Chain A
Amino acid sequence: MTELGTMRVKSGLAEMLKGGVIMDVTTAEQARIAEEAGAVAVMALERVPADIRREGGVARMADPTKIREIQEAVTIPVMAKARIGHFVEAQVLEALEVDYVDESEVLTPADEEHHIDKWAFNVPFVCGCRDIGEALRRISEGAAMIRTKGEAGTGDIVNAVRHMRSVFGAIRRLQTLSGDELYAEAKELRAPLELVRWVAENGRLPVVTFTAGGIATPADAALCMQLGADGVFVGSGIFKSADPSTMAKAIVEATTNFRDAEILARVSEGLGEPMRGLSAAGLAPDELLEARGW
């Protein structure tokens, strides 16, 4: 019997992306640069997060024309973002045959309480999280891939590090708990017991876990990998840098060779100016994208 859209098929694509870099692109030309640099997938957007942050207004799903243009330009998987809770944007993206939907806090949320019921789709979803409870809630809703959120569009890695420390630290702590302690822990985390138990037994999330939000240099990418990420999303960090093609190649090589400081030193040389960025600590609470999602 042939089956489409099983969890194994959905999470399996994320397994294939491991050790790779997923790049935000806004044009077919950028998509080709990303593919040529060795990106494992691209995220098709109208504006990168740094511009969404600067220009303000309501950020929505990209125009289908834009997504098609990017799909036609490259052979690697094409992802696209839907607003949190906006299941019709997700239906549209599925009809466009994007390879992954990112239910993303970078766009303006459409629902203040509910995320998309991701089990209802054949297309797989990636969702953001700040901590393990949030990650497991998204997985219980059907997310087939997780990314820690960081603070998109800043070029500041500090929030990404905080979220990875939180998730990977919590996994290590769960492994030290006894079986009878997991009930109270699941309640505390507001996460399903079965998933909490799975993490305690296996020492990782049940789906591939990437990092996003603030990666601007090869060293940032390698830092995320050494902290335990399976791969990285780079948003504004590439196409807001002085030399995107060189920066993209350097981040790809750094992500593969994340423990090899000699290679990291070589690829960090002569990259030109990285994205200018802004300090996440200087943002007002209502400017933080990471707080979107529940």
Chain B
Amino acid sequence: MAEPLRIGVLAVQGDVREHATMLQDAGAEVVEVRRPQELDGLDGLVLPGGESTAIGRLVRLAGLEEPLRAFRGPVFGTCAGLILLARAASDGVPGQPLLGLLDVAVRRNGYGRQVASFEADLDLAGEAEPLRGVFIRAPRITERGPGVEVLAALDGDPVLVQEGRILAASFHPELAGDGRVHERFLEIVREESCVGA
């Protein structure tokens, strides 16, 4: 059998454990990333949910901003991770670091405060079974570039998108106990490592 994929999870703050569990259940080896050298040798990277302002500050403090931007493998971000990947974010705090790896603009808390947080069934491209989306103070994708493919949408807004090696969700596939989005990410990682090899 092939070596398991080594997937990093950015672990400065947020729901690291939930992502780690999903990735391990799908057969990957998980590495928690708190410093730049922990990115070495990873096949892919997950940017978890959390508070994007706190994650942004901690990323900068740890000297991770440039190394994350320079990371060449597939990256999967959920919620705060989507914000971090975006090229632009409105309703944020000034100077919040954005990696600009995904050609989308997002509005933070674009679906409202916590009392408006919700669950909804989503139609996933290429799948018959709907996916349960858990949206928590979720960012709303307000603009996307021509290279950004929409894998799931809700009321006309994209909620799961892919641009090449970058996958991002405004909801939390890691909270709903359905491994299909993580499986899809690992599929991207496998394809990329074949191309790279």
Contact = CB atoms under 8 A, between A and B. Distances in A.
Nearest to A94: B115
B146 to A, nearest CB: 30
A9 B13 contact: no
A76 B54 contact: yes
Contact of B58 (A3, A36, A38): A38
A288 B172 CA distance: 40
B22 interface: no
Given A12-B172, A35-B93, A40-B50, A77 B114 contact: yes
Nearest to B60: A38
A15 B54 contact: no
Contacts of A38: 53-54, 57-58
B115 A122 contact: yes
B118 interface: yes
B176 A97 contact: no
A20 B18 contact: no
Given A4-B117, A8-B176, A94-B115, A75 B53 contact: yes
B108 A18 contact: no
Contacts of B15: 12, 15-16, 18
Interface in B155-182: 172, 175-176
A268 interface: no
In this complex, the interface size class of chain B, counting residues with CB under 8 Å from chain A, is: 35 or more
B115 A256 contact: no
Interface string B33-49: 01000000000000001
A40 B57 CA distance: 11
A130 B109 CA distance: 34
B66 interface: no
B14 interface: yes
B85 interface: no
Interface in A57-114: 75-77, 94, 97-100
A8 B115 contact: no
B119 A8 contact: yes
B30 to A, nearest CB: 16
Nearest to B18: A15
Contacts of A97: 113-115
Contact of A20 (B54, B136, B172): B54
Contact of B91 (A2, A39, A75, A122): A75
Contact of A77 (B11, B93, B120, B137): B137
Contacts of B51: 16-17, 20, 40-41, 76-77
| 4 closest Cβ pairs, A-B complex | A99-B114, A38-B57, A40-B51, A19-B13
Interface of A: 1-6, 8-9, 12-13, 15-20, 35-41, 75-77, 94, 97-100, 122-124, 252-253, 256-257
Given A15-B18, A18-B17, A40-B13, 10 more contacts: A3-B119, A8-B134, A12-B117, A35-B93, A38-B58, A40-B51, A76-B51, A77-B113, A77-B114, A257-B34
